[in-house]
Amino acid sequence: MAEKVYFKIGEVARKFNVSTSLIRYWEQQFDFIKPRKNAKGRRYYTRKDLDRITIVYHLIKERGMTIQGTREYFEKYHSDKAGEKVELIATLKKTKEFLQDIKSMLEEELRKQDEEEFGDLEND
């Protein structure tokens, strides 16, 4: 199945669990988010737009940066490499989840060992 080339604003908003008005606001604030518009003004976002919105979302919603701080970030780190940064963010999130799972498993194992060890002391 072919990968989708264009996304409507509603699809983009649902992907990030934000309102369409926030997507339009970010569009005004960041000149590097440039959806194509048809004759009626309907916006169509490309994969590159989605990559950039992903980084904007990460910086503002997840890291708590300001609009100005996000602009400066893009100026400093060249937004033309947005795809690489999106992949890096996704990889880091997966790694964090993996490490949290390992931590939970280790904590559970320690809890079981403590119960066995201290349970034996109570029976003595």
- Report percent pLDDT > 90 for the chain: 41
Read off the pTM: 0.62
Span 62-111, pLDDT tens digits: 999 999 999 888 887 755 555 566 677 777 888 888 888 889 988 888 88
pLDDT of residue 121: 57
Phi-psi region of 41 (alpha: psi -120 to 50; beta: other; left: phi over 0): left
CATH of 7-123, one of 3.40.50.720, 1.10.1660.10, 1.10.3720.10, 2.40.40.20: 1.10.1660.10
Of 9-18, 64-73, 110-119, which gets the smallest average pLDDT? 110-119
* Residue 7 pLDDT exceeds 80: yes
8 Å CB contact between 16 and 53: yes
Spatial neighbors of 24 by CB under 8 A, at least 6 apart, are: 9, 43
